[in-house]
Amino acid sequence: MAKLITPMKERLSSLVNSSDMSDIKFILGENKEAVYGHQFILSINSQPFKELFTQNQDLEERYDPNLNKLIPHIYLSSVSPQVFKQMLQYCYTLQPKIILSDCLDVLNLSKVFKIKGLTGYCYQFLKKNINGTFGLSLYEKALKLGDSKLLNIIIAGMEMHSKELFSQKGIFNNLAPKTIKKILAMKNIRTTEIELFHRIIETPYKRSLKKRLITNLDTDLFGSIGMNEYQTFNFDQKNSRKKSKKNNLHSEKVIPKTKFLRERSRINKKYKTQKEIKVLLLAATKHRKYINDAIKSVASEGILRENISVVNANLESLSYEEIKDYDTIFIFSYEPFLNAVEVGNSLAKYVENGKGIVICSSDTLRLNHPRSMKGRIVSPEFLPFSPGKLFFNKKLSLGDKKFPMHPILKNVNSFNGGKDSFHIVPKVIYQNSQIIAEWSNKQPLVGLKYIRNPIPHKDGCVIILNIWPISNKVRNHDSFWDPNSDGKKLIANSINFAVNFNI
């Protein structure tokens, strides 16, 4: 039996990234490298893949010269082709050829697509192969992910190799001060305090910050030579302060205050005030009352009404060229989009080019519904959470604020969804997303996802308001949200954040 299994794995391994009998094509990374897959094999390994293939009937099909036929294409510009192939290797053979430097990215991908067994495999691989230097480079990334199990593995690896690790010069130079402070707090580091002192002194940070980091060390363990170096550092710091004061007193060149004012005003021009923001209201509805109510919410915190353009997506479709000049786009639907796929693809390109959008999920992200949006924007790459079935017929309110100080929640103290409190119930919260606030039934109320871009200040963002955006002022009953609560502020804050989040 074992002799039969090995040839079967070899045969399946030959299908990894092979066009032979392929029925799905992934376009990956900035260079848009093509990787072939097989829907059946991916579906039995991953529920998100299965849902993507079976429920999203509007996958973009393009001609493939290798297969000489049309084949569905999935675009994942933020995913490395090398990492994706390692994940595929596991799906096909259960024996991935993981590269140590890619292991964290493979681990993240396994969580996004919920690949059975791959997450545990990555943990075990790291535990066996991690070394001190590599662990240090992963530690900061792991802190941002908030994966406690991963952090414990990395810390154990760093502590095991700590003696050779902290003897290397410049190892702290690329780490944030907060990360260095956490490393200094580790209990089982096998090195001397004076060694850590040298690593801190080598960093490019200001003396005042270095001194704050040094306070985390036990100076009683420095030894006589180390204590001399420590006192010399303090003495040099005091001398440098005296010299800087003398230089300021005797310097002939005086920098005018107006220079700093000009510098400051130049920087502030990047921030768009409410009166400068140009918003596209993309509404798939013929009901003018709904559109007018949405305009009032968008304009409630100072956005000028003449800067709000309205397009009825039920009657016309928009290309990227037609939307690229707007500062942000606010989207909701009550009727079907004229071309849901084109709109979704245009919005995806808009976000990839460093812009932010706000989507009201009901009915825009309703699962398998004719009013919902399609195209690339409806994918784990862009959305904080997946489409879901519509929930209503229950009065709900604002629940737990996960990030109470977030700009989207500024002055938002209450939200009454009305007797129906329309929202979707997503199946999956996607990786690298933030749930800013919840409904009182623990379902997401506000979701946020950043779409990373290698160009500075060109990251995009997608905000999902898991609400129906129209208040009950439009109707005489209380099915919609209560205008006496802070629904208008929630919408206006989201619009402002979608414009200025990159500043």
Q: Which of 126, 159, 185 is the last residue of a domain?
A: 126
Q: Determine if residue 442 is left, alpha or beta; phi over 0 gives left, psi from -120 to 50 gives alpha, anything else beta.
A: left
Strands (E), 265-321: 279-284, 308-312
CATH number at residue 77: 3.30.710.10
267 occurs within a structural domain? no
For residue 12, the enclosing domain spans 8-126
Are 98 and 143 part of one and the same domain?
no
Mean pLDDT of 266-290: 76
Q: Which residues are within 8 A (CB) of 305 and not within 5 positions of it... i.e. 6 or more apart?
A: 295, 299
Q: Which of 84, 105, 126 is the last residue of a domain?
A: 126
pLDDT at position 217 over 90: no
308 occurs within a structural domain? yes
The more confident residue out of 473 and 168 is 473
Angle, helix 223-250 to helix 193-201, in steps of 10 degrees: 20
- Cα 14 from chain centre: 34
Strand 398-401 relative to strand 423-426, pairing: unpaired
Determine contact, residues 87/80, Cβ cutoff 8 Å.
no
List C-alpha distances in Å: 161 to 124, 154, 437.
18, 11, 41
Task: Give the residue carrying structure tokens 């209201």.
Answer: 281
252 occurs within a structural domain? no
Are 376 and 488 part of one and the same domain?
yes
245 occurs within a structural domain? no
Angle, helix 193-201 to helix 207-214, in steps of 10 degrees: 160
CA pair distance 291, 314, nearest whole angstrom: 13
Are 212 and 345 part of one and the same domain?
no
Are 110 and 141 part of one and the same domain?
no
Q: How many domains does the chain have?
A: 3
Query: Token pair of 96, please?
Result: 């991935």
pLDDT digits (tens, 9 = 90+) for 310-358: 999 988 888 999 999 999 999 999 999 999 999 999 999 999 988 999 9
467 occurs within a structural domain? yes
Q: Using alpha carbons, select from 311, 439, 449 the residue that is nearest to residue 378.
A: 449
Write down the pLDDT at residue 4: 47
Query: Three-state DSSP class for 319?
Result: coil
pLDDT digits (tens, 9 = 90+) for 218-252: 655 555 555 566 666 665 544 444 444 444 444 44
pLDDT at position 130 over 90: no
CA pair distance 178, 140, nearest whole angstrom: 9
List C-alpha distances in Å: 146 to 336, 342, 400.
39, 36, 20
Between CA 388 and CA 394, with CA 390 as vertex, the angle to 5 degrees is: 135
User: In 10 A of CB 237, how many CB atoms?
Assistant: 13
186 occurs within a structural domain? yes
pTM for the whole thing? 0.50
